Amino acid sequence: MEAAKRIVFTGNLVYTEPVKKAAIEAGLKPVEAEIMDLKKISEPKDLTSALTEFSIENMVYSRAEHVAMFLDLVDSTNEKMLKESVVHFVQDSKSFNLLNDKGFPVLQSPGAQPIDMVEFFLRLNRTGPVLTPCVDPETEEIPEFLAELKYESRYLRMYEARPFSPGELEDRRLDFYRSMDDYEYVLLHEPGTITQFLVAFPDADISKFTFIPLHKKTAARLQHMGLKYTDVLSWHPDQPDRFAEQLKAVVSQSAG
């Protein structure tokens, strides 16, 4: 029986478990290779300041882990504003439940794509300033669409990706290089991950990998660098089966 092909997950994927499950269902063997550390950079006072300074009326969350990070910034000073003056918009059921259970006014987009959220905004005639709690603004598509429609759209960076210490990174490099010949696919969950991957593993023969981007900007960078990559895959926490089917198609095309 042919051994399962290995797929490397890069970055700090707090949603790794459902993605790993989808990869296994697609006949792949997941391997985690964290290349950056997440450092908290916002406190409750930063959220309070953004709410008051920019008169925020809407907040948009692209994923459930950002909701969890946001809830850590809620305190007695800003909670009333967040529940009485702001409407919270999410794309998946887990995000909805996290906010709804805490008593925040929350609406879930009827569609799975960022453009669906924008159309939802327009139908509801939400015109006030928008705040997006996030880690990397470059990965957030909804605020970009809203800005194009002349919405006042701002970001609140809650965490940032930082390099591991030299000692920690060296251990990760040794582990990666030791098994590198067994790896076939590398999943890139954000645009900046390809640069981080190259810095973390400078001696890797990247021409042997097939990169799987989850973002159009990532695909554009891979194309510019002349690397082998698949079509952009769509990940939505409410549709893990769809992601598994996309991975199966990738494996099937490689076999063909």
Instruction: Supply the pLDDT for residue 37.
Output: 81
Q: Could you tell me which residues are beta bridge partners of residue 87? A: 58
Are residues 104 and 48 part of one domain? yes
Are residues 180 and 137 part of one domain? no
Q: What is the CATH number of the domain that holds 30?
A: 3.40.50.10090
Length of the chain: 256
The answer to whether 117 and 60 have CB atoms below 8 angstroms apart is: yes
Kind and range of the H or E element at 5? strand 5-10
Are residues 213 and 179 part of one domain? yes
Question: What number is the average pLDDT over the span 30-50?
Answer: 91
Are residues 46 and 30 part of one domain? no
Angle at 17 between CA 228 and CA 110, to 5 degrees: 85
Q: Which residues have C-beta within 8 Å of that of residue 101, sequence separation ≥ 6?
A: none
Distance CA 113, CA 234 (A): 9
Question: What number is the average pLDDT over the span 134-143?
Answer: 88
Pairing relationship of beta strands 210-213 and 183-188 according to DSSP bridges: parallel
DSSP per position, 51-84: HHHTT--EEE-SSHHHHHHHHTT--TTTHHHHHH
Are residues 204 and 192 part of one domain? yes
Domain's final residue, options 105, 129, 160: 160
| Enclosing domain of residue 230 | 5-35+164-255
**b/e map of 35-46 (b: 16 or more CB within 10 Å)?**
bbebeeebeeee
**pLDDT tens, 98-138?**
999 999 999 999 988 889 999 998 899 888 999 999 988 88
What's the pTM?
0.83
Are residues 152 and 244 part of one domain? no
Residue 54 has pLDDT above 80, yes or no: yes
Domain's final residue, options 160, 178, 210: 160
The answer to whether 94 and 88 have CB atoms below 8 angstroms apart is: no
Are residues 76 and 31 part of one domain? no
Are residues 236 and 185 part of one domain? yes
**pLDDT tens, 68-86?**
999 999 999 999 999 999 9
Are residues 153 and 44 part of one domain? yes
Q: Which two tokens stand for residue 150?
A: 């002349």
Are residues 146 and 60 part of one domain? yes
Q: Looking at the 3D structure of the chain, how many domains does it have?
A: 2
Neighbours of 124 (CB within 10 A): 12
Are residues 197 and 131 part of one domain? no
Question: What number is the average pLDDT over the span 153-163?
Answer: 90
